[in-house]
Amino acid sequence: MSRLGLFCSVAALALAMPALADPITPKAGSLPSPAEAFPTEPGSDYYLANYDAYEKYLKTLAAQSDRMKLIDIGKSAEGRTMWTAVVSSPANLAKLDRYQEIARRLAKAEGVSEAEAKTLAAEGRAIVWIDAGLHATETVTTQSQIHVLYRMLTGEDAETKRILDETIVLFGHDNPDGLQLVADWYMRNKDPKDREFRTIPRLYQKYVGHDNNRDSFMSQMPETTAVNRVLFREWYPQIIFNQHQTGPAGMVVFVPPFRDPFNYNYNPIVMTELQEVGASMHSRLVSEQKGGSGMRSAAPYSTWHNGMVRSVAYFHNSIGLLTEIIGGPTPEKIPLIPDYQLARNDEPLPIAPQEWHLKDSLEYQNSLDRAVMDYAARNRERLLMNIWRMGDQAIARGKRDSWTITPNDVEAAKDAAKGKTAEGGEVYFRGPPPIDSGLYKSVLNDPAKRDPRGYVLPPMQRDMPTTIAFLNALLKTGVDVEQASAPFTAGGKRYPAGSYVVKTAQAYRPHVLDMFEPQDHPHDLEYPGGPPKAPYDITGYTLAYQMGVQFDRILDGFDGAFTRVTADQLAPPPGRVLGSGTAGYVVGHETNNSFILTNRLLKAGVPVSWLNETTKAGGVTFAPGALWIPATPQAAAIIAQSAPLGVDAYRVSRAPAGAKTALKPVRVGLVDRYGGVMPAGWTRWLLEQYEFPFEVVYPQTLDAGNLKANYDVLLFADGTVPVERGGAYPGGYRNSMPKPADIPADYRAWLGEVSKDKSVPAIDAFAKAGGTVITVGSANALASMLSPAVQPALVTKKPDGTVTALDHKQFYIPGSILAAKVDPTKPLAYGMAPKVDLFFDESQSFVPTAGLTPVVTYDSATPLRSGWAVGQEKLNGTVAVASVDLGQGKLFAMGPEVTQRAQPYASFKLLFNGILYGPASTSAQ
């Protein structure tokens, strides 16, 4: 199946979708209600309105209401317009530019005194973002927004008018493509009882599906970029309400506050305000006798990870809200869970078991939205002042010595206190004993461990285009970035003009620290002496580490001839053609963008080789792996046209001596499964960005055999190979397949799983005939089936001889960054530095064995760089990434997630080199 087949038009899914009726013309002075404007009222059983219908209704409302303005915030991955409805009083809508400017000045805080802030807060309006549709199968949010909008535009009650007068509410839609796909799929069956969306054939965001809510600090997807622009560069809302489902079993909805831990970088005001809003939401539900709301322990949500829509808000001094509600177009039942019938702090009003309908959820969602808007209206000036206070405090902290105390610091203080007697008053409550207060300054405020005043990124980077991509991620989230126009000194070091500077004396200081500094997640246990308590999502993600950016932490104040970057996006310095030789070109392997150039040359039939030995050209020494491109007019044209990639080419007078690996165009098969696997989707996006040709392959194609006739490389991303529960390889994705008769015929060829009895023999034959197999993450279960040399290291042997992954009390690394040693003389690691930071999420490592060639290894008992690790010493001496010969072919086993969410640019080369090297090495035999 080609990738074009994977992305069939959503229209093709609407096999029996009822035609959308034109909105009924309302009576004079009235707006069409949802019941009038749609063929069936949204919120009815067995009906979902799609994005086409939603968009049409938005345009109707905007054309006829003086309380609403419709703005286009960008295009989705499939090209749909992302609309945001701006709702407020007519008087406020007439002054939107002024209120946006007030919100910007207060949020950024720069140059705004307290007196001026009070004046601006008195004049300004609270801005609230309430979204829908981020996760498209969570259908309550989109259908409820239709009703909430109509009620806000037609309501004449005192509360509605107060909200309109005191606030500006942005009703956004995060995922138009997903709503269209899911609604059309649900409505395809004429019999309502046959309608479902559990079996949608692909991810509901073209590339990343559910992970569109893990992209917020990176902004890789167009939808994320558009939303971040609204939140942190244009409107600066004080409240960001990100709506989800489904709620906890036996309840209706999870509403903040959240469980610990919270991240140590952001201002605590945002947490106390979050609790205020959460209390208002719960109180509204309880007062309306809407039971079944839970908080804190009712769900696993914390506020640690920066990558989500509601959590990135905290690092920008905004209140981030998340609700998770039950419901959907197909009625369901609230089950009886006896423990949840006992009222408690975290569930103040239990709900009886009952049948539940989508319209019930819509009424709850309306109450929650109204509670948030009413809180903002009643606390308008305080919200505006507090976002200024947080920004002002961040700027002040960035200009003086300050410390962020983390769990490691606390443990250091405890260790320093051992054997010492504390002086202090009487202890009235049970709790940890006091220690010597002098340790506060010497340990917790150790001058050597103070927070940086800023970061300097010199222009001489190993991979400048990737450094630019990192800076662009900061810019997309509203961070202030500067560039030096003249040399300057900072931290006793001289830096050249062109260096980039990111100071911490800015309103979004929490986000800056979170992107540069390691995360130090607490050692969180289910109970004292018990197993680790799983975090919500991951624990370590420092972006500068993942992207391999070279930077210096500057602890003391510094300044220079710095100019604020005003462009939306930076571009890397254009690639240059240097030297005057006529034999050909030498290009370094250090930049990821060199793969784009390579793929363009190979596509055009231009010869390209890797130089297997160190080479000198133009006074520059090139490490093994540099590209050799013989001079031809076509090569010269492609290199010139590729200057925007930022890759330099050195013209030389004769071909470099020594061994070369001749590359060839490759045919890549990217394995996926019905419904879509998110890591495969992220990998698909990466392959497109770096211009690798590929096709999506499903298990039935694998099982049919004769794979070498169509593919040179088979790529198995994390989650594409079923793993045995309790086996050696944790993780993976286990979604059941639909019956062929339950889905359209066009998608039946996508069904199936990679199996030991059918798929593995075909893949083995492919490799032994000269094919390359690449396995990543949990897909290394396949690697162990293909070769006895691939033996998992982090296992316990059971009495029957089989192995199981280590118990979490022995070893647990839930999404963290680890340091590893690289052998850059190996083709799989060409272009890499001798050390790399790898993303590791309950991954496996390998035993050094005969037949297994280590490429990346863990060479320390303390490899943790950012996040949380239990038993990290067990990694020491094991292999992270390895190469294995399989007949005439190659197996590249990559234990950690080297392409995790398209964030670890520093480890992309392992995958990209593998794609090119395997076929090149086998063709040379």
* CATH code, domain carrying 673: 3.40.50.880
853 pLDDT exceeds 60?
yes
Please tell me the distance from the alpha carbon of residue 145 to that of residue 143, in angstroms, as a whole number.
6
Per-residue pLDDT, 427: 55
Q: Which domain holds residue 557?
A: 453-527+536-564
Q: Is the pLDDT of residue 453 over 80?
A: yes
In a domain, 387, yes or no: yes
> Under DSSP, is residue 60 helix (H, G, I), strand (E, B) or coil?
helix
Residue from 837, 819, 838, 853 nearest 921 by CA = 853
In the predicted structure, residue 424 carries a pLDDT above the cut 90: no
Assigned domain for 571 exists: no
Owner of token pair 């540069």:
516
Separation CA 639–CA 632 (nearest Å): 11
User: Where is the domain boundary, 662, 679, 699?
Assistant: 662
Residue 230 lies in a domain: yes
Confidence of residue 19 (pLDDT cuts 50, 70, 90): very low
Q: Please report which confidence band the pLDDT of residue 426 belongs to, taking 50, 70 and 90 as the band edges.
A: low
Tell whether 378 and 477 lie within a shared domain.
no
Q: State the DSSP string of 132-198.
A: E-SSTT-THHHHHHHHHHHHHHH--SHHHHHHHHHEEEEEEES-HHHHHHHHHHHTTSSSGGG--ST
Return all residues near 379 (Cβ < 8 A) that are at least 6 apart: 126, 276
For the record, the structure tokens of 730 come out as 């944790």
pLDDT at 249: 95
Q: What residues contact residue 711 under an 8 Å CB cut-off, 6+ apart?
A: 667, 668, 669, 695, 697, 766, 771
Provide the pLDDT for residue 921: 79
Assess whether 869 and 751 both reside in one domain.
yes
Same structural domain, 333 and 471: no
Are both 366 and 489 inside the same structural domain? no
The amino acid occupying position 201 is P
Q: Please state the rounded mean pLDDT for residues 754-781.
A: 97
| Cβ atoms of 211 and 901 closer than 8 Å | yes
Question: How high is the pLDDT of residue 22?
Answer: 41
pLDDT higher than 60, residue 787 = yes
Q: pLDDT tens, 603-612?
A: 999 999 999 9
Q: Is 301's pLDDT higher than 90?
A: yes
**pLDDT confidence of 566, banded at 50, 70, 90?**
very high
559 neighbors 503 (Cβ within 8 angstroms):
no
Q: Are residues 463 and 441 in the same domain?
A: no
pLDDT digits (tens, 9 = 90+) for 674-733: 999 999 999 999 999 999 999 999 999 999 999 999 999 999 999 999 998 889 998 876
Q: Tokens at residue 798, please?
A: 């059971």
The conformation of residue 870, written as its DSSP 8-state character, comes to B
27 pLDDT above the threshold of 50: no
CATH code for the domain of 166 = 3.40.630.10
Same domain, 476 and 330: no
Q: Do the bridges between strand 354-356 and strand 332-334 make them parallel or antiparallel, or are there none, so unpaired?
A: antiparallel
**How does residue 9 score in pLDDT terms, banded at 50, 70 and 90?**
very low
Region 484-495: what's the mean pLDDT? 98
Per-residue model confidence (pLDDT) at position 919: 93
The reply to whether 441 and 522 lie within a common domain is: no
pLDDT (tens digit, 9 = 90+) per residue, 61-96? Answer: 999 999 999 999 999 999 999 999 999 999 999 999
pLDDT digit string, tens, across residues 896-922? 999 999 999 999 999 999 999 999 976
Angle, CA of 201, 218 and 69, to the nearest 5°: 80
Helices vs strands, H then E, count in the chain: 26, 37
Q: Is 778 exposed, middle or buried (0-12, 13-18, 19+ CB in 10 A)?
A: buried
CA distance linking residue 625 with residue 589, whole number of Å: 6
pLDDT at 421 over 90: no
pLDDT exceeds cutoff 90 at 26:
no
DSSP, collapsed to helix, strand or coil, labels residue 233 as helix
d(CA 47, CA 182): 11
Please give the angle made by the CA atoms of 583, 585 and 589, to the nearest 5 degrees: 150
The pLDDT of residue 923 is 57
Supply the pLDDT for residue 810: 96
Confidence of residue 338 (pLDDT cuts 50, 70, 90): very high
Rg (CA), the chain: 29
- Which residue in the block uniquely carries the two structure tokens 């298990």? 699
* Pair of tokens at residue 607: 């010869």
For the residues 141-148, what does the mean pLDDT come to?
A: 98
Same-domain check for residues 213 and 276: yes
Amino acid at site 854: P
Residue 492 has pLDDT above 80, yes or no: yes
Is 60 exceeded by the pLDDT of residue 423?
yes
Q: Rounded to whole angstroms, how far apart are CA atoms 495 and 721?
A: 49
Residues 810 and 901 in one domain: yes
Q: Are residues 913 and 778 in the same domain?
A: yes
Domain for residue 153, yes or no? yes
Do 284 and 336 lie in a common domain?
A: yes
- Of the CA atoms within 13 Å of residue 484, those in its CB half-sphere come to 23
Q: Is the pLDDT of residue 18 over 60?
A: no
Can you tell me the distance from the alpha carbon of 92 to that of 98, in angstroms, rounded to the nearest whole number?
Answer: 9
pLDDT at 445 over 60: yes
Beta strands in 668-777 (DSSP E): 668-671, 694-697, 713-716, 772-776
Contacts of residue 703, defined as CB under 8 A and 6 or more positions apart, other chains included, come to 752, 755, 758, 759, 762
Q: In what order do the strands lie in the sheet with 562-564?
A: 552-554, 454-457, 500-503, 482-484, 562-564
pLDDT in the model for residue 844:
97
Q: How many domains is the chain partitioned into structurally?
A: 5
Confidence at residue 502, expressed as pLDDT on a 0 to 100 scale:
98
User: Does residue 426 fall inside a structural domain?
Assistant: no
Domain membership flag for residue 621: yes
Is the dihedral angle over the CA atoms 763, 765, 766, 770 positive or is it negative?
Answer: positive
Q: Which residues contact 686 (CB under 8 A, 6 or more apart)?
A: 899, 902, 908, 911
Classify residue 347: in a domain, yes or no.
Answer: yes
Question: Exposed, middle or buried: residue 482 (CB in 10 Å: 0-12, 13-18, 19+)?
Answer: middle
Q: Are residues 658 and 787 in the same domain?
A: no
Nearest CA to 56 out of 36, 27, 78, 76 is that of 36
Give me the percent of the chain exceeding a pLDDT of 70: 95
| Domain assignment of residue 821, yes or no | yes
Q: Is the pLDDT of residue 255 over 90?
A: yes
Q: What is the mean pLDDT of the chain?
A: 94
